[in-house]
Amino acid sequence: MSILNVLKEATIQSLTALYDKSFTETDFQVSQTKPEFEGNYTIVLFSLVKSLKKSPEALGKEIGDELIKNHSHIFSKYNIIKGFLNLTITDTHLLDLLNKNYNDVCFGKHEINDQKIMVEYSSPNTNKPIHLGHLRNNFLGWSVAEILKANGYEVTKSCIINDRGIHICKSMIAWQKLANGATPQSTKTKGDHFVGEYYVKFNDEYKKEIEELVAQGVSKEDAEKKAPLMQEAQTMLLDWESGKPEVIDLWKKMNGWVYEGFAVTYDRIGSDFDEKYYESNTYLLGKDIVKEGLAKGVFEKEEDGSIWIDLTTDGLDKKIVQRRDGTSVYITQDIGLAKQKYEEYKIDKSIYVIGDEQNYHMKVLKLIAEKLDLPNAKNIHHLSYGMVELPSGKMKSREGTVVDADDIVEEMIATAKQHTEELGKVKDFEEHELADLYETIGLGAMKFYLLRVDPKKRMIFNPEESIDFHGFTGPFVQYTYARIQSVLRKVDSSPLTVDSSILPHNQQPITDNLLPLEKELILTIEQYSQTIEQAATELNPSVIANYVFDLAKTFNSFYTEHSIANAECEEKRQLRLHIASMTANVIKSGMQLMGIQVPERM
């Protein structure tokens, strides 16, 4: 149990013993002591002052004495300033913690529980390659899944691939008309980029057609519908739905190219999935749901045959769930898929990583699921994230300002290479080690940059600043890790041993002799478990990013001020090597939760 939890419980016990009343965690507040005051943890007494009608000083003294009397192994002393009771943690307790866990690579992770969670993320369209915004989605989804695993959940990563629809037909039409049989192989183009080009070409040609029609006096709206290319795309969609062989073949061929391209990108950025759903399989789902909803009176049929749900009493609008031609719409398919997910996996919670432009849609989805009484409806959770913008504003495909994922990844890795070479510290690296290192640093910088911000906020991606490897960045944390490894390597000949002389059982001289920075490091490490928990509760990897950075920063201060391998005495040396080792473990673990590798050397 963490010190914080021990303190809370101990305080409740002390209060109960002292005042003969029952208390809960909400009756008082515990926080970390501000650096300018002596102590490590602080109990804020004001709320108790009120209910117990005692002065803060008296109250603080009584609680402080009681805590120390009963928990002398954890709390050594206290002071009271105004209404704040500042408690000091004993060195003994911290050393004990260090001794028990210094070599535990799983430190901070929670026991397996029996809850199952599905995290759906990524969800690409097969008509164009993924861009910077998708990267935020991929990194978030992957990281959240790992964070949940670290908290003991059984996690299934899933992905819905939007592989059908009018947008797919557009690139197919363009390819048929313009490609002359060109393929990714023949043009040496990555498959997803290849198909994406034809999607762009379609829109270019389509635009020309509209302009011509408008010039002939057709209204813009009509022109958009009547343009021959659009008509062809519509026809192709119908052909696809009726299973016309040549259309299906073309569709399979082009999607195949896209998947090959995606596979390369996913492999590189580290996205993976346990289950893939294809919209071409799920788009008919939801028919039975519509029937069910009608029977239950949740849905209503209009005169023209279309089916609706009225959500006005919930503050939303009316929403269509089935078209008058009997086909199901997006939202209905999603409900169908939600149901299928539950039936297949018996999940306790279903998380959707989707941009905040779909907040309304997801709200409706959940509401309909609840009204239909689907078993997992209440545990549908939309992990909404803000758009990624450029310093110049939003990315717009029309203006060609969309940042391609492959390009930006490549650029980050190239910058990592250039920067590393300038520093000139890697002369003894082998060729393949260098390639790995650049990839580790470049991708690490990228992931850290996109994950360090609260998901729900939109963020600005400044290509120049993102490539800064100093300060609150992935490479800084990676560097700290490599630095520790370097120290630990140097003492390899005398590997870390559990030297009883620094252990509390022995009551040797180190006790009550920890330096402030040593203490701060151990206390920070101790909070890793809570940090993981918080990140899981909030579904927010930035919690981890901030924590890991803070730990790395503290370590670097320590490293600069105090020698580790050449400490004043053997006990101190052992102690510091233990701290270093544990810091490295926690940094590595935290970075892995964000999908970031740490290099042994850099």
Partner RNA sequence: GGUUCGGUAGCUCAGUUGGAUAGAGCAUCAGCCUUCUAAGCUGAGGGUCAUUGGUUCGAAUCCAAUCCGGAUCACCA
Among 62, 356, 407, 533, binds RNA (CB under 7 A): 356
Per CB under 7 A, 203 contacts RNA: no
Per CB under 7 A, 564 contacts RNA: yes
Our CB check for RNA shows the closer of 215 and 423 to be 423
* Distance of alpha carbon 578 from alpha carbon 93, whole angstroms: 15
CB 391, CB 403: distance < 8 Å: no
Strands (E), 2-153: 29-32, 41-44, 75-81, 84-89, 116-120
Per CB under 7 A, 483 contacts RNA: yes
Among 165, 261, 293, 504, binds RNA (CB under 7 A): 165
Among 330, 436, 499, 530, binds RNA (CB under 7 A): 330
* Distance of alpha carbon 436 from alpha carbon 447, whole angstroms: 16
- The structure tokens listed for 476 are 């800084």
> The tokens 């958009």 sit on which residue?
224
Q: What is the DSSP letter of 162?
A: B
Q: Give the three-class secondary structure for 161.
A: strand
Q: Count residues binding RNA (CB under 7 A).
A: 97
CB 579, CB 522: distance < 8 Å: yes
Q: Which of residues 27-66 bind RNA (CB under 7 A)?
A: 29-31, 33-34, 36-37, 39, 42, 44, 46-47, 50
Per CB under 7 A, 473 contacts RNA: yes
Candidates 65-73, 151-159, 459-467, 498-506; binding stretch for RNA (CB under 7 A) = 459-467
Per CB under 7 A, 277 contacts RNA: no
**In the complex, what is the shortest distance from the CB of residue 339 to RNA, in angstroms, rounded to a whole number?**
17
**In the complex, what is the shortest distance from the CB of residue 180 to RNA, in angstroms, rounded to a whole number?**
29
* Closest to 122 (Cα-Cα) out of 151, 159, 156, 147: 159
* Closest to 493 (Cα-Cα) out of 399, 577, 431: 577
Q: Give the three-class secondary structure for 564.
A: coil
Candidates 99-107, 111-119, 482-490, 588-596; binding stretch for RNA (CB under 7 A) = 482-490
Sign, CA dihedral 426-429-435-440, equals: negative
x/- binding map, residues 418-437, to RNA, per CB under 7 A?
Answer: -xx--x-xx----------x
Strands (E), 431-573: 459-460
Our CB check for RNA shows the closer of 80 and 97 to be 80
Among 471, 493, 495, 497, binds RNA (CB under 7 A): 471
Candidates 128-136, 184-192, 240-248, 541-549; binding stretch for RNA (CB under 7 A) = 541-549
**In the complex, what is the shortest distance from the CB of residue 154 to RNA, in angstroms, rounded to a whole number?**
27
Candidates 188-196, 242-250, 456-464, 506-514; binding stretch for RNA (CB under 7 A) = 456-464
**In the complex, what is the shortest distance from the CB of residue 107 to RNA, in angstroms, rounded to a whole number?**
22
CB 255, CB 163: distance < 8 Å: yes
Q: What is the DSSP letter of 39?
A: -
**In the complex, what is the shortest distance from the CB of residue 239 to RNA, in angstroms, rounded to a whole number?**
16
HSE value, Cβ hemisphere, 13 Å, CA-based, for 233: 24
Burial of 512 (0-12, 13-18, 19+ CB in 10 A): exposed
Residues paired with 189 in a beta bridge: none
Our CB check for RNA shows the closer of 384 and 508 to be 384
**In the complex, what is the shortest distance from the CB of residue 505 to RNA, in angstroms, rounded to a whole number?**
27
CB 467, CB 405: distance < 8 Å: no
> The tokens 């908290």 sit on which residue?
151
Our CB check for RNA shows the closer of 407 and 433 to be 433
x/- binding map, residues 289-328, to RNA, per CB under 7 A?
Answer: -------------x-x-x--------x-x--x--xxx---
Q: What is the DSSP letter of 535?
A: H
Per CB under 7 A, 530 contacts RNA: no
Per CB under 7 A, 26 contacts RNA: yes
x/- binding map, residues 109-128, to RNA, per CB under 7 A?
Answer: ----------------x---
